[in-house]
Each structure stands twice: as C-alpha cells, then as structure tokens.
Amino acid sequence: MPHKMTITGSATGPLREYDRYVAFDMREKGSPAAPKGLKKSTFISYTVFVAKKAFNKTGLTKKSIMHEKILVQGEPTLDIPIDECPGEIGIICFQITVLPNKNDKEANDSKDKKEAQQEVAATKQEEKQDSVSQPVAQEEKKASETVQSEAKETPVQEKKAAQPKKQQPIQPKGTKDVVSFEDIIVPEAFLKTRPNPVKTEEVIEFVKRTGHLDKPLTIEKESKVLKDGYRRYIVAKTMKMDNVPVVYDY
C-alpha cells in the first residue's frame, strides 16, 4: 500500500507546465538526529506533480507559488521520467492547499487598530469643540428643561426598544462554542490522511453559499486537540476562517 505523505512550504524553483499536469520543487529540513555513525541530513528535496485542474482551483500562479506557503498531500512515485523529477523524492499530489499568510493577517490587524485610533481621536475632537461652544442662555435653558423633563423618558424607552439586537453570526446545528482557528491542534495522524477531494469541494461550495461550515468540528475542551472533522478543518483553512464552530469531546 503506498505511503501517504504531507509536506508544507513554498516552491524552491519555477513552475513547470506539461500536457495535463504541472510540477514544482519543494524541500523540508531533514531529521534533527540520526543513528550513531550516520551523517545527519540537512534537507530533503521533493518534486511535486499536480493535475492542472486541481492546481488552477488554488488560484496560484507562476509568480505567487514562490511566495505562498502551501500544504501538499500525496504519495511517492517512481514512475516519473528522471529529467522531469530533479527532486530526491517524486510526489503525486492528491490535494494542494494554500495556507494563510501570517504577515497579511498582522497587516490587516494593524490597519484595523489604526482606524480605531483615528475614530477615537475624531470623537475627542468633536467633544472638545462642543465644550468650548457658546452656552445657551440661562433663562432659555430653564424653560426648555421643564418641557424636556416631561417628554424625556418615553422617547428614550422607545429608542431602546427600536434598536435592533446585534445579529450573531449563523452557526451550524449542534454548535456548542466558537473558537479561534489558530488555537486548534491537529494530531499527526490526521495530517497523514487525505480527505476525499470531491466531498471537500462540496463543503467549500456550501461555505461559499452560506458563509459557515455545514457541521461543527469536534475538539477536546481543554487541549483544543482535534478529534473529528479534519475535512472541515481543511476547508476552514482554505477559506481563511478566523473562527470555527465546535462541539466538545469530554
């Protein structure tokens, strides 16, 4: 039975196009330790072969693949001509996923923080202008206070009743909590598996239509270790979801 492999990183060479597939090279660090007497490996090079249809769905280009961090799941092969496979190991890719860019997320967070600071500064400026404006004459103020005190309570109550409640994001049936995607820990056993690409694509289309997953993920409450729902974990990563619905496995 073929050995399933999972590697992450960026392409180390240009994208090469063939008739029905594309290929690119990746590499990972070797084992930090080796049996006594053997030389430690510095890195292992791979040549990844992906069907053009699957590659086009990722949105990657010849330029972006050199900078984006990707996750590749597949199995090793010896059936590729040696001139097309410069890497030490050739991999037939079953699934390729673009991983979220940490730098982009930090830049967006910084932008949101800056906009919030600008709003606070604008509010303080308006309050300052109001405080230095010319006060209302004392007699007019007393006359208006009598009228306003009688009609004050009802309009305020009506205003509170008219304010709509803040709509909570829709979550799938059975959701017990919503946690940050980055807090979830995926066991090594899941990373060695390959969810059915057809079913994975169906979940992606569901998220595009509804804006949420079709079912919650199952995790341990304290450790946040994923227990079930690896396919939806992959979909959440692909759709760059910040938070995901969960149920707890005690």
At residue 82, the pLDDT reads: 75
Of the two residues 102 and 200, the one the predictor is more confident about is 200
Euclidean distance between CA atoms 113 and 18, whole angstroms = 46
For 60-100, how does the pLDDT look when each residue is reduced to its tens digit (9 = 90+)? 888 888 888 899 999 998 888 878 888 888 999 999 998 88
CATH no. of 5-31+40-101:
2.40.50.140
Give the architecture-level CATH label for domain 177-248.
Alpha-Beta Complex (3.90)
Segment of 27-31, 153-157, 192-196 carrying the highest mean pLDDT: 192-196
Give the pLDDT band of residue 162 (cuts 50, 70, 90).
Answer: low
Where are the domains positioned within the chain? 5-31+40-101, 177-248
Tokens of 78: 């010896």
Percentage of the chain beyond pLDDT 70 is 76
Asked if residue 169 lies in contact with residue 208, where contact means CB atoms within 8 angstroms, the answer is no
pTM here? 0.40
pLDDT at 31 over 60: yes
Cα–Cα separations (whole angstroms), residue 191 to 74, 89, 145: 11, 19, 70
For 190-222, how does the pLDDT look when each residue is reduced to its tens digit (9 = 90+)? 988 888 999 999 999 999 998 889 999 999 989
Q: What is the Cα 20 distance to its own chain's centre? A: 30
